[in-house]
Amino acid sequence: SYELTQPPAVSVSPGQTARITCSGDGLAKLYTYWYQQRPGQAPVTVIYKDKERPPGIPERFSGSTSGKRATLTITGVQTEDEADYFCQSSDTADSHRGWVFGGGTYLTVL
Amino acid sequence: EVQLVESGGGLVQPGGSLKLSCAASGFAFSGSAVNWVRRAPGKGLEWVGHIRSKTNNYATLYGESAKRRFTISRDDSKNTAYLQMNSLRIEDTAVYYCMSAATAWGRGTLVTVSS
C-alpha cells in the first residue's frame, strides 16, 4: 500500500508564504486532501481533490501537485494558521480504496 | 448547515467494548460514505475505516489496526453511522472523529482504554 511523507515541522513569519509538502508514489495518480488541525480542535478540510477549496476556507490556502509530490501553500500566513497539517490520499489504486495519512507537519508562525 | 456529532466515547477497560455513534444533518447522508479517523495522544491522524453508501452496497473497509476488532455500520433512516469497537487495547485510546459529505468533520469523542 502507498505511504505519504511530510516534513515534521515548518516555520514562517506572519505574512510570509508557507509551503508544506507531501510525497508518495500514489500521488502521481490519486487525489490529495489536506486537513488543518489546531491544538484541541477537530480537523478541518482546507483542500480536497488536489486543489479545491471548501466553502469558508480562505483563499490564502491553495493546493498543487507535481508527479509524486503534493504541496499545500499558505500565502500571507496569519498567526491563526499555526496548526498541524495532514495530507491524505488513497492507500491503493484499486476500485475500493482505503485512506492513508501523512505523518503531519506542524506549522509554527513565529 | 452540514453537521456531524459523535457520541458514545468514555472510559473502558482493556478487552472491553464500546459503540460510537455519528449523527449527521444538513446533507444527503444516505448518499455519502462515512469515514472514521482517530488521533491518539502524541500521534497523527489514523484512518480507522469507512462504510460506503447503499449505492455501493454499504461496502466497508478497515485500516490495519481496526481489522477483525472494529465494525462500521449505518442506519440511513436515522442519518447515523456507528463504530463498534471490541477487544479494546490501551493503544486504542484516542479521539475518534467521523467524516462525511466529502469534507465535513465532527468534533470527536474521546475513548480512553485503561484499567
Share of chain A above pLDDT 90, in %: 87
| B45, B59, B104: residue with CB nearest A101 | B45
- Residues in B closer than 8 angstroms to A104, CB to CB, are 44-45
Residue closest to B93 by CA, chosen among B37, B39, B21: B39
pLDDT at A95 over 80: no
Q: To the nearest 10°, the Cα dihedral for B62, A98, B41, B74?
A: -50
The H or E element that residue A90 is part of is: strand A83-90
For chain B, the average pLDDT equals 97
Rounded to an integer, the average pLDDT of B56-60 is 95
Q: Which of A1, A61, A101, A105 to mutate to test the interface with B (most CBs of B within 10 A)?
A: A101
Q: How confident is the model at residue A93 (pLDDT cuts 50, 70, 90)?
A: confident
Q: Which chain B residue lies closest to A6 (C-alpha atoms)?
A: B44
Rounded to an integer, the average pLDDT of A9-27 is 96
- Residues in B closer than 8 angstroms to A95, CB to CB, are none
Q: Lowest-pLDDT range, A88-92, B10-14, B44-48?
A: A88-92
Rounded to an integer, the average pLDDT of B73-79 is 98
Rounded to an integer, the average pLDDT of A44-61 is 97
A49 to chain B nearest CA, in Å? 10
Q: What is the pLDDT of residue A91?
A: 82
| A44, A84, A101: residue with CB nearest B47 | A101
Q: How far apart are CA B67 and CA B61, in angstroms?
A: 9
Rounded to an integer, the average pLDDT of B85-112 is 97
Rounded to an integer, the average pLDDT of B16-36 is 97
B56 to chain A nearest CA, in Å? 10
| A42, A99, A100: residue with CB nearest B106 | A42
Contacts of residue B41, Cβ cutoff 8 Å, sequence gap at least 6: B93, B94
Q: How confident is the model at residue A8 (pLDDT cuts 50, 70, 90)?
A: very high
Q: How confident is the model at residue B48 (pLDDT cuts 50, 70, 90)?
A: very high
More confident residue, B101 or A57: A57
Q: What is the pLDDT of residue A31?
A: 94
B29 touches chain A (CB under 8 A): no
Q: How confident is the model at residue A92 (pLDDT cuts 50, 70, 90)?
A: confident
Q: How far apart are CA A22 and CA A101, in angstroms?
A: 10
